[in-house]
Chain A
Amino acid sequence: MNRINPKYIPLAATALVMIALYVLGCVLYPNFTSPRVIVNLFGDNAFLGIAAVGATFVILSGGIDLSVGAVIAFIGIFIASMIASGMQPLVAIVLALVVGTVFGAVQGSLIRVFDLPPFLVTLGGMFFMRGMAFVVRQESLAIKHSFYQQTIRQLVIPLAPRVNIPFTAMCLIAVVVVATYVCVYTRFGRNVYAIGSSENSALLMGVPVGGTKIGIYALAGFFSALAGCVSTFYMQSGNPASFVGLELDAIAAVVVGGTLLTGGVGFVPGTLMGVLILGLIQTLITFQGNLNTWWTRIAIGVLLLLFIVLQKAIAGRGRA
């Protein structure tokens, strides 16, 4: 059988779009070929990418997580405040990861135990976390600590003269590798797919649906918190008002990356490509120079609609 499995078609389409955008950039702008463009693509979009990987698990299981942006903002200001009050940065980061994971697990438990729709639970979580961020501090706070100003900045891998892979990009790549492994090579990962494809069947097949669901939202909370940590590396500050609507960018990246919004089909590397596509569009518009940055949003919107139509077309063909 030489026919490609239809589930790979969206992934192939994503890869094509990504390559096409990059080639377009290289043709239009000579500077685009510099390795720095690629390095920045990873570094600038690291926290979005990590959040999107978390969202991938949730969407694969047929759910949705709207609390991502608020959690990142909360974690950012939480870490900044803790460090400002004298806590060791590493301790603050570990604490932040625990808080994010527990928060995710609570959301998951509400969804599971009371059989509530994820949309509403995480909408509530979003308001709660956004509010908590402002409770921690009303305005943004710069992080002044040698760990941030020196250690993190020096943790780079030199790639070419004057081009280094930043620590944030390394975090993103590590997250993608680990998450891909979890999806493909662990029972937990396969259960996520099973629940997303048919929750009722999964239950009757003996999949531990309840525990897996709570695990998914805990994992998403962990990734959101990690994205929050990475955002502080990138911004060197925390801001309770930042990242409003970031969860929607993450969802867009996941869908453009070939994951079915209804669950059951998708790949973590696809999500990475989705994030890079979003980043490439942004970079192209920056290089162009004359266009308002809001054109990024328009391009993403059009792309997102195209991908949804593509998925629908494939699903329709699969049934026939």
Chain B
Amino acid sequence: MSDSLLEVRGLSKSFPGVRALQGVDFTVRRGEIHALMGENGAGKSTLIKVMTGVYERDAGTTRLDAKEIFPRSPREAEACGISTVYQEVNLIPHLSVAENICLGRQPTAFGKIRWGAIMQRATQALARLDLDIDPSRQLSACSIAIQQMVALARAMDVSAKLLILDEPTSSLDERECEELFKVIRKLRDEGMGIVFVTHFMDQVYAVTNRITVLRNGQLVGEYLTSELPRLELVARMIGKDAKEVAAMESQQPGMRSVRDEKPFLEVRNFGRKGSIAPLDLSIRPGEVVGLAGLLGSGRTETARIIFGVDKPDCGEMFLDGERVSISSPRAAIRRRIAFTAEDRKIDGIIPNLSIRENIVLALQASRGTWSKLSRAKQDELADKFIKALRIKTPGPEQLIKNLSGGNQQKVLLGRWLATEPRLIILDEPTRGIDVGAKAEIEKLITDLRRDGLAILFISSELEEVVRTSQRVVILRDRKKVGELAGDAISEHAIMNQIAAPTAESKAVVDV
């Protein structure tokens, strides 16, 4: 069975100032799981939204079962046989599972909803996916994973021919993902065409048959999953050749050395009850210190007491050898320390302001209301950081909400860099952004280090920490359990210390 189910030809879509899709072709066959890959901003979401009728296309054709379709709303797309499950569960929390499955197409008799039939239909839909869920339960009382399954059951309840899964696994754990994969494999075997979008490479290779790669709104190519090695896939996505990617992934020697300078920041016996046990830590100019540990091991807490968000209750802090006490983030900023917090949506971006305005924000704030940055100066700063950080945008006046996650992260970084900090604390700067953007952020960190910045780098991804850091401090259970430096840094060594409860004595390795 390899006849095509969905044929998208020459699809284009523009938004004010952005060409999101340019002449993209995309084909899904019956009985296959087809991965749609690309960096953030490559056009995946736009393509999906055009297929599901959320956006109207500017040019191109879409054929489903050799019949041209032109859905203008999710409802029309559904009527054609295209169902979608989104990254965030898009269901109605206050209604029952059964009603969520049938909403908008409830069986009626003379306009009266037949509740019995709804229950029956929902039970069948759940049974078809081998799901054991009580259909009368209120949706909000179910776990996210169950809600995701309900969304899938809903998508299947219409006689769908094509199922689009837009990052359905981002909030599921491993076992829940496996459940989901079982279900979608079953649907594939029933002859359905499935489009699968994800950031997780492992999942792509675990379930998909074919891969289509987009970059900058254009089609890069369509490949059989079995014939496209991972490295090649990443290379296609970010538009480099595979050798470069390989080099990037294993760039190690030479970058470990640090000019022997006095530390910019040094803390001794620094801690706070209930959040982090007293620890010593120093960061030199031109050095990246990685903070590794499991979630909840005290990484963010350490950053918070250094930045003055929380007050330490013991220990001392030195900046350039001078003893200081930092009592608030304002004080930290005055001492040229910057901090990008874990959740960029909360701390970070102001969606309705332009890139320029977002970049100058922190600098303007530190100057106070009365000494306004001139427009010329603002433009200069914005241009400088757009160029330096390679922010993908048509111009500095673009609203930041129109950028992809990775590019938003870069704007945030630009905002802090504009204040010319000497120490920057990066808390999970690569979370939720795709491979290409991650690689770029990593490269930026390395560049900044070369410019003499001191950097405290927090990340859950050990490879990242290993690749970028000159020294790694390891935390476990809100305590510093070890420190690695130079060539001693490896994923294996870090894992050992995170895991081994008695490794402390051997932990400190001299530079």
Contacts and interface: CB of A to CB of B under 8 A. Distances in A.
A264 B93 CA distance: 9
Contacts of B73: 206
Interface string B125-136: 000000000100
Contacts of A187: 104, 106, 108, 113
Contacts of B75: 206-208
B92 A1 contact: no
Contacts of A204: 54, 74, 84, 86, 90
Given A190-B103, A194-B103, A1 B95 contact: no
A194 B95 contact: yes
Contacts of B112: 185-186
Contacts of A205: 74, 90-92, 103-104, 154
Contacts of B111: 186
Closest CB pairs A-B (n = 3): A206-B75, A264-B94, A197-B94
A217 B475 CA distance: 57
Contacts of A208: 75
Contacts of A196: 94
Contacts of B93: 197-198, 264
Contacts of A184: 113
A86 interface: no
Interface string B272-301: 000000000000000000000000000000
Interface string B49-73: 0000010000000000000000001
Contacts of A289: none
A145 B289 CA distance: 90
Contact of B74 (A185, A190, A206, A318): A206
A194 to B, nearest CB: 5
B53 to A, nearest CB: 9
Contacts of B154: 205
A210 to B, nearest CB: 10
A165 B72 CA distance: 52
A254 interface: no
Given A6-B138, A197-B94, 8 more contacts: A1-B137, A7-B138, A187-B108, A193-B95, A205-B104, A207-B75, A207-B103, A264-B93
Interface in A191-230: 191, 193-194, 196-198, 200-208
A264 B134 contact: no
19 contacts: A187-B108, A190-B99, A190-B113, A194-B92, A194-B95, A196-B94, A197-B95, A198-B90, A202-B92, A202-B103, A205-B91, A205-B92, A205-B154, A206-B75, A206-B78, A206-B104, A207-B104, A264-B92, A318-B140
Contact of A318 (B91, B106, B108, B141): B141
A150 interface: no
B87 to A, nearest CB: 11
Nearest to A206: B75
A17 B394 CA distance: 61
A73 interface: no
Given A185-B113, A186-B112, A187-B113, A198 B134 contact: no
Interface in A1-18: 1, 5-7
Contact of A198 (B92, B99, B108): B92
Interface in B348-385: none
Contacts of A264: 92-94
A171 interface: no
Contacts of A121: none
Nearest to A188: B111
A17 to B, nearest CB: 23
A265 B92 CA distance: 11
A186 B107 CA distance: 10
B49 to A, nearest CB: 10
Interface string B82-122: 00101001111111000100011110100111000000000
B379 to A, nearest CB: 32
A156 B433 CA distance: 70
Nearest to B91: A201
A1 B134 contact: yes
Contacts of B84: 204
A318 B140 CA distance: 8
Contacts of A186: 111-113
A7 B113 contact: no
A202 B74 CA distance: 10
Nearest to A198: B92
Contact of B94 (A1, A193, A203, A319): A193
A206 B73 CA distance: 7
A198 B91 CA distance: 8
B92 A200 contact: no
Interface in A167-190: 184-187, 190
A107 to B, nearest CB: 24
A1 B142 CA distance: 14
B74 A203 contact: yes
B497 to A, nearest CB: 35
A193 B106 contact: no
Contact of B90 (A1, A190, A191, A201): A201
Nearest to B76: A206
B251 to A, nearest CB: 43
B138 A5 contact: yes
A265 B91 contact: no
Interface string A256-296: 00000000110000000000000000000000000000000
A25 B99 CA distance: 42
A278 B402 CA distance: 49
B14 to A, nearest CB: 23
A188 to B, nearest CB: 9
Contacts of B105: 206
Nearest to A195: B92
Interface in B209-265: none
B473 to A, nearest CB: 34
A201 B92 contact: yes
A201 B103 CA distance: 11
Of the listed residues A7, A185, A208, A319, the one surrounded by the most CB atoms of chain B closer than 10 A to its CB is: A185
B67 to A, nearest CB: 20
Contacts of B108: 187
A319 B138 CA distance: 12
Contacts of B103: 190-191, 194, 202, 205, 207
Nearest to A208: B75
Nearest to B89: A201
A311 to B, nearest CB: 12
A265 B93 CA distance: 10
A207 B91 CA distance: 11
Nearest to B158: A206
A308 B232 CA distance: 58
A205 B73 CA distance: 10
Contacts of A185: 112-113
Nearest to B52: A204
B134 A197 contact: no
Contacts of A202: 92, 103
Given A185-B112, A185-B113, A207-B103, A7 B90 contact: no
Of the listed residues B78, B90, B111, the one surrounded by the most CB atoms of chain A closer than 10 A to its CB is: B90
Of the listed residues A204, A264, A265, the one surrounded by the most CB atoms of chain B closer than 10 A to its CB is: A204
Contacts of A319: 140
A201 B86 CA distance: 10
Nearest to B77: A206
Contacts of A191: 103-104
A208 to B, nearest CB: 7
